[in-house]
């Protein structure tokens, strides 16, 4: 497994840092960012003041009880701070690791006029090196040119305008295998902080100092830069509304109890301390304490998967995606056509065809050529022959002939495109039969590529080349379908070929002969119908569609235009990463929903714990609701508020790790959510509060 820069942090170090940060976050400015926990913070301050007043004889309850309530409330605030700090700690550790890879280096700056001159020099590398100006990388500006030779670090982000080189990108991706970067095409982008291993390149700067891709990465993984998403803001508004409702309820209960105690000439059993405890227990403090940590942890999981999200909104949008646009090549198929079948024609045998095809492919180093040699060996145990001294003459493939082959022991063997081999055979007096034409058409209809093989101007058969669908990809698409996600394959193939591959891969639809315009139109059409669309791309021609998509994953190896258009960048440049991104987004939403359900369900048990204990003296009928038979009002309140604090700590690992992802429909997930986190959220507090109450009795607090 690849070790990425996102993995290099120690859990003990993170925990120590989080403990320190939990205390630092006690500043009112930080607490104000979370309205629910702000109320708990104010409640903790109030009880602390009440305790100090009790020491001078001004008290509504025993000082020991008030102190216990105050301590538990402060711990509740600290536990919430700790959860958020622990989630943020991952981002800080990741940012520290990235900063270690970022440093100023010497850069060989070039003048624009040198580019044309260097192109005509026999030793261009030496020419650029001699005529360059050595400057600090921090002084490079957008559109400047610089030269990088083997062994040197690339000083800034840019696009290669000349040359090709092997580049070590492990400082960014964590992947040790070098990659090829070259001018032109979709693999011309290079990142500052990576190292050229071989050859040389001339690069044009695409980002000013301080705005490089590495700078963006550091900024994005810093939790402080994370903005709340729309769904998170909506949930927070709901939690604030509930908090206000319970605040009004607590004040109303105090008023009612004061009125009732006056009528009965009985001392008011409800005190400010007990009502503060009641309010904190009834307010949705559990999800309020963990909400920020859940969002931060979601981005952290994405970072760990080596995907850089430009905003929390993009991560959340990934969870709502219901249409996925996927490239065929490299995502659904292996990317290279492979020989799958030998089909003899006109009286030839399959072994004769396999032998001829293998001979014609011995010097063919393309993936297709090597696959023919492998298939011949697997089918008939035909092994590669020694070429030296055999008199074999290799005929290389050319764009003009569209054929390759060998002249061997007086025989001519050729393989190539159907029309090219047909013309070759007929020009030498051979025949292109109806049987051969039928097989060529059948292979084309199935989505494959027919490769004709001729021996001595006679066609002996057809090799069926086909796109090999990746193992397990059909199952992945079936899982996505269960979640209500529609998959659409994008390909430049003709509709017939696209339909065959789409059927084999199990995608729901396909876009054949795709162009930038057709991709953009497809995304807009689905969005107009109310769908959330995700796609991946790496080329400049993908940029318009990436900019339009709700979730756009650009390949790090792709062009600068693609990376600027996307709202996520895959550092591994793996086309299949889009599926992982969607799953991480859905896990984030599942985690938030599950813990919200659990938090609200928790309140039911707290009603039965505190309200009967507080008001039974005034309203004896309420004693029937004391189903837990808690010892007395003090232990009931303490048990409920202790549980309220401890459950936050207990749920921190789940908030950071996330609820286990399950491939199921929304209805199925909702039913399971209500059963596990709804019913479980009701039952667990009853058991835990009763256990804490019994423990308090054993400790002599009854």
Beta-strand ranges (E) seen in 241-378 are 307-309, 323-327, 333-344
Active-site residue, selected from the candidate residues 327, 467, 493, 550: 327
**Catalytic status, residue 327:** yes
Convert 542-561 to b/e letters by CB count within 10 Å (16 or more is b): bbbbbbbbbbbbbbbbbbbb
500 half-sphere exposure, CB direction, 13 A CA radius: 15
Reduced to 3 states, what is the DSSP secondary structure of residue 310?
A: coil
- 364 annotated to bind ligand: yes
Q: Please state the φ and ψ torsions of residue 537, each to the nearest 5 degrees.
A: -165, 165
Task: Give the containing element (helix H, strand E) for 537.
Answer: strand 533-537
Give how far Cα 129 sits from Cα of 113, 115, 220, 289, Å: 14, 12, 36, 58
> What DSSP character marks residue 282?
H
Nearest Cα to Cα of residue 557 among 41, 397, 548, 542:
542
CA 24 to chain centre: 31
Is the Cβ–Cβ distance between 452 and 421 less than 8 Å?
yes
- 399 annotated to bind ligand: yes
Is the Cβ–Cβ distance between 85 and 21 less than 8 Å?
yes
Tokens of 617: 């003296």
Reduced to 3 states, what is the DSSP secondary structure of residue 452?
A: strand
Give how far Cα 356 sits from Cα of 373, 385, 397, 411, 526, Å: 10, 12, 16, 10, 50
Is the Cβ–Cβ distance between 337 and 467 less than 8 Å?
yes
- 407 annotated to bind ligand: no
- 397 annotated to bind ligand: yes
350 half-sphere exposure, CB direction, 13 A CA radius: 12
- 270 annotated to bind ligand: no
> What DSSP character marks residue 539?
S
- 623 annotated to bind ligand: no
Report DSSP letters for 94-122, one per residue: HHHHHHHH----EEEEE-HHHHHHHHT-T
Separation of alpha carbons 446 and 150, rounded Å: 47
Separation of alpha carbons 488 and 327, rounded Å: 9
Task: Give the containing element (helix H, strand E) for 125.
Answer: helix 124-130
- 538 annotated to bind ligand: yes
Nearest Cα to Cα of residue 220 among 140, 143, 302:
302
Give how far Cα 521 sits from Cα of 59, 190, 490, 528, Å: 71, 30, 13, 10
- 555 annotated to bind ligand: no
Q: Please state the φ and ψ torsions of residue 179, each to the nearest 5 degrees.
A: -125, 155
Reduced to 3 states, what is the DSSP secondary structure of residue 558?
A: coil
Is the Cβ–Cβ distance between 123 and 130 less than 8 Å?
no
Is the Cβ–Cβ distance between 203 and 190 less than 8 Å?
yes
Nearest Cα to Cα of residue 148 among 139, 159, 138:
159
Separation of alpha carbons 606 and 625, rounded Å: 12
- 497 annotated to bind ligand: no
Bridge partners of residue 486, in order along the sequence:
323
Nearest Cα to Cα of residue 343 among 450, 422, 445, 466:
450
Separation of alpha carbons 588 and 321, rounded Å: 13
Bridge partners of residue 134, in order along the sequence:
108
- 403 annotated to bind ligand: yes
Reduced to 3 states, what is the DSSP secondary structure of residue 588?
A: helix
- 609 annotated to bind ligand: no
Reduced to 3 states, what is the DSSP secondary structure of residue 63?
A: helix
Look up tokens 């308090």; give the residue: 696
Helices (H) and strands (E) in the chain, counts: 25, 20
Q: Show which residues are catalytic.
A: 327
Binding site as annotated, residues for Mg(2+): 538, 542
Binding site as annotated, residues: 364, 368, 397-404, 415, 538, 542
């Amino acid at each position: 497994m690849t070790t990425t820069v996102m993995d290099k942090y120690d859990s003990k170090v993170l925990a120590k840092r989080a403990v320190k940060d939990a205390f630092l976050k006690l500043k009112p400015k930080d607490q104000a960012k979370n309205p629910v926990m702000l109320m708990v913070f104010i409640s903790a301050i109030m009880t602390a003041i009440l305790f100090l007043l009790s020491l001078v004889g001004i008290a509504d309850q025993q000082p020991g009880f008030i102190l216990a309530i105050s301590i538990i409330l402060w711990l509740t605030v600290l536990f919430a701070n700790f959860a958020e700090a622990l989630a943020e700690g991952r981002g800080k550790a990741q940012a520290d690791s990235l900063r270690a890879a970022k440093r100023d280096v010497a850069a060989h700056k070039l003048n624009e006029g040198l580019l044309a001159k260097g192109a005509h020099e026999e030793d261009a590398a030496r020419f650029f090196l001699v005529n360059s100006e050595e400057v600090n990388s921090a002084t490079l500006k957008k559109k400047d040119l610089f030269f990088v030779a083997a062994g040197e670090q690339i000083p800034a982000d840019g696009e290669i305008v000349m040359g090709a080189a092997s580049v070590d990108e492990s400082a960014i991706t964590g992947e040790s295998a070098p990659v090829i970067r070259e001018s032109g095409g979709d693999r011309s982008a290079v990142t500052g902080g990576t190292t050229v291993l071989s050859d040389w390149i001339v690069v044009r700067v695409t980002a000013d100092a301080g705005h490089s891709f590495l700078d963006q990465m550091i900024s994005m993984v810093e939790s402080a830069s994370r903005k709340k998403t729309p769904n998170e803001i909506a949930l927070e508004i709901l939690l604030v509304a509930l908090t206000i409702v319970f605040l009004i309820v607590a004040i109303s209960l105090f008023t009612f109890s004061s009125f009732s105690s006056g009528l009965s000439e009985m001392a008011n059993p409800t005190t400010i301390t007990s009502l503060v405890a009641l309010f904190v227990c009834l307010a949705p403090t559990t999800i309020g304490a963990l909400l920020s940590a859940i969002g931060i942890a979601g981005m952290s999981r994405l970072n760990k998967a080596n995907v850089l999200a430009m905003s929390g909104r993009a991560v959340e949008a990934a969870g709502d995606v219901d249409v996925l646009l996927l490239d065929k090549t490299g995502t659904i198929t292996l990317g290279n056509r492979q020989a799958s079948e030998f089909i003899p024609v006109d009286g030839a045998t399959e072994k004769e065809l396999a032998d001829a095809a293998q001979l014609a492919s011995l010097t063919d180093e393309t993936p297709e050529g090597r696959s023919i040699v492998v298939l011949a060996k697997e089918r008939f145990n035909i092994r590669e022959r020694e070429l030296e001294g055999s008199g074999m003459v290799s005929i290389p493939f050319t764009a003009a002939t569209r054929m390759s082959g060998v002249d061997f022991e007086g025989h001519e063997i050729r393989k190539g495109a159907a029309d090219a081999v047909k013309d070759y055979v007929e020009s030498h007096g051979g025949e292109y039969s109806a049987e051969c034409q039928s097989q060529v058409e059948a292979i084309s209809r199935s989505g494959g590529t027919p490769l004709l093989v001729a021996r001595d101007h006679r066609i002996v058969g057809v090799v069926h080349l086909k796109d090999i669908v990746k193992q397990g990809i059909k199952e992945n698409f079936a899982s996505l379908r269960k979640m209500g996600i529609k998959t659409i394959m994008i390909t430049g193939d003709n509709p017939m070929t696209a339909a065959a591959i789409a059927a084999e891969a199990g995608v729901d639809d396909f876009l054949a002969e795709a162009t930038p315009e057709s991709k953009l139109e497809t995304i807009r059409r689905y969005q107009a119908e109310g769908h959330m669309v995700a796609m991946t791309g790496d080329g400049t021609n993908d940029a318009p569609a990436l900019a339009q998509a709700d979730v756009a994953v650009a390949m790090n190896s792709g062009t600068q235009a693609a990376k600027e258009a996307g709202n996520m960048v895959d550092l591994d440049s793996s086309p299949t990463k889009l599926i992982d991104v969607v799953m991480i987004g859905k896990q984030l939403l599942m985690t938030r929903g599950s813990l919200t359900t659990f938090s609200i369900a928790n309140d039911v048990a707290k009603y039965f714990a505190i309200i009967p204990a507080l008001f039974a003296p005034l309203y004896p009928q309420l004693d029937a609701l004391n189903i837990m038979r808690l010892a007395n009002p003090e232990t009931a309140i303490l048990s409920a508020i202790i549980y309220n604090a401890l459950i936050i700590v207990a749920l921190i690992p789940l908030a950071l790790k996330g609820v286990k992802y399950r491939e199921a429909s929304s209805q199925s997930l909702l039913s399971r959510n209500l059963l596990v986190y709804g019913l479980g959220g009701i039952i667990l507090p009853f058991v835990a509060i009763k256990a804490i109450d019994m423990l308090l009795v054993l400790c002599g607090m009854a």
